[in-house]
Structure 1
Amino acid sequence: MITRTLLAIVLLACVITAIAVVHARHQHRQLFAQLTRLETARDELNIDFGRLQLEQATWAESNRIDQVARQRLEMKSPETADIVVIRP
């Protein structure tokens, strides 16, 4: 009688352990898939960030700023006669 009870307890423990292992592997696969998706999104964001940094550097070049100031704002360098030096 005691051996049957002990056998039933061991069998039940084995079934519960097997179910726990299956659950843990399933959860691991789901988390790994999520990690892969997040890494892909991170890589795409890094590419976009690099592209935006390059674009910002292009827009901030002094030649570009000078060109926009002359064309759109109709700005020009002052003539020598128009420059006034103020000394303290």
Structure 2
Amino acid sequence: MRRGSTWLPLLLILAIVVSALAVVRTKHENRALISELDSLRAERERLDMEWAQLQLEEASLAANNRVEAMARAQLGMTEPRAYEIVEAGP
């Protein structure tokens, strides 16, 4: 039996083992990345909902009747009388 013929099966077995380990590692990394992606998607959905709620809150706080009521109550502002309104001419 030649010396080269005994090394070839050992090298092939070593290549198979290394390849199998690489496949296992790749699958593990893939699962970890999928898990991270799921958590990031959930966070994005939560932030989208929070953004929508903040937009609704901003719209309600900026409503004209609310601003007018606060101006009257907190600042004592009143609507000007007709003779106090000054219109600029052309």
TM-score, normalization: structure 1? 0.91
Rounded to whole Å, the distance in 2 between the matches of 1:43 and 1:69 is: 37
1:71 aligns with 2:73: yes
RMSD: 1.2
The alignment-based identity, stated in percent, is 35
Deviation of residue 54 (structure 1)? Answer: 0.6
1:25 aligned partner, one-letter code: K
Deviation of residue 80 (structure 1)? Answer: 1.7
TM-score, normalization: structure 2? 0.89
Deviation of residue 61 (structure 1)? Answer: 1.0
Deviation of residue 86 (structure 1)? Answer: 4.3
Residue in 2 that maps onto 1:19? 21
- Structure 1: runs of 5+ lacking an equivalent: none
Deviation of residue 81 (structure 1)? Answer: 2.5
1:54 aligns with 2:56: yes
Rounded to whole Å, the distance in 1 between the matches of 2:7 and 2:59 is: 77
Deviation of residue 71 (structure 1)? Answer: 1.0
Residue in 2 that maps onto 1:36? 38
1:23 aligned partner, one-letter code: R
Q: How many residues align?
A: 88
- Structure 2: runs of 5+ lacking an equivalent: none
Deviations 1:24-73 (A, max 9, x none): 00001111111111111111001000100110111111111111111111
1:7 aligns with 2:4: no
Task: Give the 3-state SS of the residue equivalent to 2:75 in structure 1.
Answer: coil
